[in-house]
Structure 1
Amino acid sequence: MATFDWQRHFGALAQEVERLREGSEVTLLSLSAENSEFIRFNQAKVRQIGTVSQGKLTLRLIDGARQAYSTMTVGGQLEADLQEASQALEVLRASLRDAPEDPHLLFGQSHWTQSTERAGRLPEPQRLVRTVAECAHGLDFVGFYAGGTIARGFASSIGSRGWYEVDNFNFSWSLYDRSGRAIKSEYAGDAWDEAVFTHKLEQAASRLPILGSAPRVLAPGRYRTYFTPSALGALIESVAYEGFSARQHATSRSVLYKLHQGEATFDPRVTMTEDLGLGITPGFNADGYVRESVPLVASGRSADRLTDARSAREYGLKPNGALAEEPTSSLMMEGGDLHADDILSALDTGLYVGNLWYVNFSDRMHCRMTGMTRFATFWVEHGRIVAPVEAMRFDDSLYRLLGDQLERLDAEPELMLNDSTWGERATGGMKVPGVLAKSFELTL
């Protein structure tokens, strides 16, 4: 796929916008762009394939305590994009005349330059199609692959410049049994290894015979349970979207309010960090701040919170480069001592939960969540998978699962990239271990 030079294009746009400033105006520009390949599979055959090259430019004009925004599509002809940006600037300038002052306006005033450019090793699309056809021959394989270059840029008329451009991929697939049950697998990263993909596929296929056997019917109650990183990730994701937000805590709406107040704790082995060192998200934000790695949970107790510029201004805090809604975008949870080969024996008898879905809160104040078990939930006896378990509803608190019910953590946390393609491929994700819990509550 021919790639578009987004960095050069963005640089030219930034230079022109800054040239057109008047008086005390400040401009902040943000770019979100991609050159991506998409492949959809059904029954191990290609059902849809294509490429996308697109860019979105957000122009922010600030004059004193007033500001206005405009977002436009870019990536065609430079001359046309320059003209559209110039026209947008004129519209914003006119709108500022009647705009009210923003009491919570705050943006970065320092000069900085940051650049992250990481070329990956991605599968060639036609080669990937052949690999799937060969490895999944005879299987009901359904999957979706998205891979390519993701770019993010920032330019401030104050003098700050940020560029983030990485190659990565995200491939998720399911193997369906005639019963209608399925085993879901995922493979994501920036260095494709066909042997790793093949191993993951073979591992899932080896459990299909068990999936086709009579399901174990469980009564509501609490069961000893192992959560894969994907299953734990579904719980963490629900909490992390706003649970570590400074704004949510200041307004007493955080789902982790009791943790931040010291009224609840996790097990001392639980440590979480917004870790920019993972390199899966830009190290700068749209307010013009360099982002910082932030300790969120240290030895089971609340450490710090994510604070964007508006929260900092409103509540008298110090911004640490958080994104606008203050979600985590690069969460790292430390692992433990449970190795992959020992998971089933450590579980002994209980539930092996591969995935969770429809996760929501049933009691926000106590961080209690409900949802359904889904793909590849098995019943294990004496360290051996013996039967599938039909989807069941759960209702339990993260304070329990990562608190007094936490028995062991996986030794090697797994990286899971954000697989959202709604409008554009997302950056970010999380790296979390699997968890062995003494009990997990199923309600029906």
Structure 2
Amino acid sequence: MMRQYFLDLAARLDARMRDGDEYQCWLEAESSDFVRFNRSAIRQPGHVRQIYLTLTLFEGLRHASMTMALGGSIDADRFVLDRMVAALRSQVQDLPEDPHLLRATEVHSTEHIVPSRLPESAAIVDEVLAAARGHDLVGILAAGPVYRGYANSFGQRNWHETASFNLDWSLYHQRDKAVKSSHAGFAWDSAAFEVKFRHAVEQLAFLQREPVSIPPGAYRAYLTPSALNEILGMLNWGGVSEKSLRTRQSPLCRMRDDGLQLNRAVTLSEHTAGGLAPAFQADGFIKPDRVVLFDEGRLTGSLVSPRTAKEYGIATNGADAGESMSSLELAAGSLPLERVLGELDTGIFISNLWYLNFSDRMNGRLTGMTRFATFWVEGGAIKAPLNVMRFDDSLFRLLGDKLIGLTREREMLIDTDTYGARSTGSALLPGALVEDFTFVL
């Protein structure tokens, strides 16, 4: 139904164009259930249905854009479209030409519809509340379909429709001690949720022990997929952007300029075909199924938006304007998850990191803090929760010569951001065992 509505919007825009007028439009919509939990009870249930359309009119190299919320009824929304077209017509002729404008003029229409495999949100909530009985659970469930659409005056039509869920929760002990976990995907898996919840309960028992502090220094450490996602999120902040590499703002400039390499276990891709994000972007350019960015530790690719492509006279690979990964995938390693504690032996088990930032961007140095269930491990066994510590270390060390191995098992993490709209970002990641992880406070 949403797809037909979008096609009707595009047809209305086609009819409103005068000779010489050209347009493109980008639709973002969702129909989401949200349930917020606190103290293992429902505190805020709700449903959000929203539709936003960004319309751009072109006059040669001049262009003007406007974003409006729509109601979902073509009979009512056609008046909104007419006002948008009229307003943009009055603006575009007064704007300067854009020398870096690159448009999708070749028609590449696509359609990707994945029928929802989600149960009713009430059934998921019942399962969560049953598991949480006797614990202090806090978290949020977001579930339902998301929609993306692109259309232009050349006749291109692209549609993306898929449903997912994301349950982000913590089991709270006291003060700053809690176990954070998540369960996300395209189909609810009760058995997988049970395993994750049981694992969280086991870690909660360790948090009841007296916490310990250790002196600053370099320690062997295991980063769960969630913790590693924070590290790679910093790399994704301008790291693989062709624009940032060209303007020398990327922390990976030394890899391109000096041939610096990471550990051969690091093969990192933008894997659009395996993620939640659409295979087209807001300017109508099609994304490849996969763009390999690191191949066995070597920087072999980058993300190139249409504007960057036009500015530097190179080909675009359908990257979004920010040139960051939306469907990040790190290849699995050979370390079985069941052997992680044994291989860690004595060191730090890190479940989550937060407050990350660059301490030396051009040398890839990061700083951040441990969070939630971080444990001190001796002889392959968890001994006690570890008080909060600050680390300061380099991407080139953590993913380079100090990387011992990546786990064989990987976890699908869906971005929990719901500010304004549910994010379509995702990451498929293993855990990472490293040595000499440097803690400074």
- Provide the TM-score with structure 1 as the length reference: 0.97
Pick from 319, 324, 340 the counterpart of residue 343 of structure 1. Answer: 340
Pick from 368, 372, 375 the counterpart of residue 375 of structure 1. Answer: 372
Over residues 59-99 of structure 1, what are the superposed CA-to-partner deviations in whole Å (9 max), with x where a residue is unaligned?
01111111000110013432221111111111111111211
Partner-residue secondary structure (3-state), 1:101: coil
1:47 and 2:43 are equivalent in the alignment: yes
Pick from 79, 104, 115 the counterpart of residue 100 of structure 2. Answer: 104
Partner-residue secondary structure (3-state), 1:264: coil
Q: CA deviation at 1:49?
A: 0.3
Q: Where does residue 113 of structure 2 map in the other structure?
A: 117
Q: Where does residue 354 of structure 1 map in the other structure?
A: 351
Q: Where does residue 298 of structure 1 map in the other structure?
A: 295
CA distance in 2, matches of 1:215, 1:279: 38
Asked if structure 1 preserves the Cα contact closer than 8 Å seen for 2:24 and 2:150, the reply is yes
Asked if structure 1 preserves the Cα contact closer than 8 Å seen for 2:121 and 2:143, the reply is no
Pick from 147, 168, 171 the counterpart of residue 167 of structure 2. Answer: 171
Q: CA deviation at 1:129?
A: 2.6
Q: Where does residue 52 of structure 2 map in the other structure?
A: 56
Alpha-carbon RMSD: 1.1
CA distance in 1, matches of 2:264, 2:29: 41
CA distance in 2, matches of 1:223, 1:442: 8
1:425 and 2:422 are equivalent in the alignment: yes
Percent identity of the aligned residues? Answer: 42
Q: CA deviation at 1:43?
A: 1.1
Asked if structure 2 preserves the Cα contact closer than 8 Å seen for 1:179 and 1:212, the reply is no
Q: Where does residue 153 of structure 1 map in the other structure?
A: 149
Q: CA deviation at 1:134?
A: 1.7
CA distance in 2, matches of 1:167, 1:208: 32
Q: CA deviation at 1:7?
A: 1.0
CA distance in 2, matches of 1:179, 1:23: 66
1:13 and 2:25 are equivalent in the alignment: no
CA distance in 1, matches of 2:257, 2:46: 50
Pair 1:59–1:179, CA change in 2 (3 A): closer
Amino acid of the residue matched to residue 58 of structure 2?
I
1:231 and 2:241 are equivalent in the alignment: no
Over residues 164-217 of structure 1, what are the superposed CA-to-partner deviations in whole Å (9 max), with x where a residue is unaligned?
000100111111113540000011100101121122111111122210111121
1:127 and 2:99 are equivalent in the alignment: no
1:30 and 2:26 are equivalent in the alignment: yes
Equivalence map 1:212-251=2 (5 Å):
212-251=208-247
Asked if structure 2 preserves the Cα contact closer than 8 Å seen for 1:270 and 1:299, the reply is yes
Amino acid of the residue matched to residue 195 of structure 2?
H
Asked if structure 2 preserves the Cα contact closer than 8 Å seen for 1:230 and 1:354, the reply is yes
Asked if structure 2 preserves the Cα contact closer than 8 Å seen for 1:24 and 1:64, the reply is no
Q: Note the residue ranges of structure 2 that are not aligned, 5 or more in a row.
A: none
Over residues 270-308 of structure 1, what are the superposed CA-to-partner deviations in whole Å (9 max), with x where a residue is unaligned?
111111120411001111111122111111111111111
Count of aligned positions: 440
Bigger mean CA deviation after superposition, 258-267 or 186-195: 258-267
Pick from 384, 391, 394 the counterpart of residue 387 of structure 1. Answer: 384
Amino acid of the residue matched to residue 97 of structure 1?
Q
Asked if structure 2 preserves the Cα contact closer than 8 Å seen for 1:241 and 1:328, the reply is no
1:210 and 2:198 are equivalent in the alignment: no
CA distance in 1, matches of 2:85, 2:292: 39
CA distance in 2, matches of 1:193, 1:88: 44
Partner-residue secondary structure (3-state), 1:391: coil
Q: CA deviation at 1:431?
A: 1.0
Over residues 307-349 of structure 1, what are the superposed CA-to-partner deviations in whole Å (9 max), with x where a residue is unaligned?
1111111111111100011111011111110111111111111
Amino acid of the residue matched to residue 235 of structure 1?
I
Asked if structure 2 preserves the Cα contact closer than 8 Å seen for 1:262 and 1:301, the reply is no
Over residues 240-276 of structure 1, what are the superposed CA-to-partner deviations in whole Å (9 max), with x where a residue is unaligned?
1311111111111112111222342101111111111
Q: Where does residue 254 of structure 2 map in the other structure?
A: 258
Asked if structure 1 preserves the Cα contact closer than 8 Å seen for 2:176 and 2:372, the reply is no
CA distance in 1, matches of 2:340, 2:178: 21
CA distance in 2, matches of 1:272, 1:130: 38
Partner-residue secondary structure (3-state), 1:216: coil
Over residues 385-411 of structure 1, what are the superposed CA-to-partner deviations in whole Å (9 max), with x where a residue is unaligned?
110001111100010011000101011
CA distance in 2, matches of 1:125, 1:282: 24
Q: Note the residue ranges of structure 1 that are not aligned, 5 or more in a row.
A: none
Asked if structure 1 preserves the Cα contact closer than 8 Å seen for 2:275 and 2:427, the reply is no
Partner-residue secondary structure (3-state), 1:415: strand
Amino acid of the residue matched to residue 363 of structure 2?
H
Asked if structure 2 preserves the Cα contact closer than 8 Å seen for 1:272 and 1:331, the reply is yes
Asked if structure 2 preserves the Cα contact closer than 8 Å seen for 1:250 and 1:315, the reply is no
Q: Where does residue 285 of structure 1 map in the other structure?
A: 281
- Provide the TM-score with structure 2 as the length reference: 0.98
1:397 and 2:394 are equivalent in the alignment: yes
CA distance in 2, matches of 1:77, 1:114: 24
Asked if structure 2 preserves the Cα contact closer than 8 Å seen for 1:417 and 1:427, the reply is yes
Q: Where does residue 186 of structure 1 map in the other structure?
A: 182
Amino acid of the residue matched to residue 193 of structure 1?
D
Q: Where does residue 308 of structure 2 map in the other structure?
A: 311
CA distance in 1, matches of 2:380, 2:323: 41
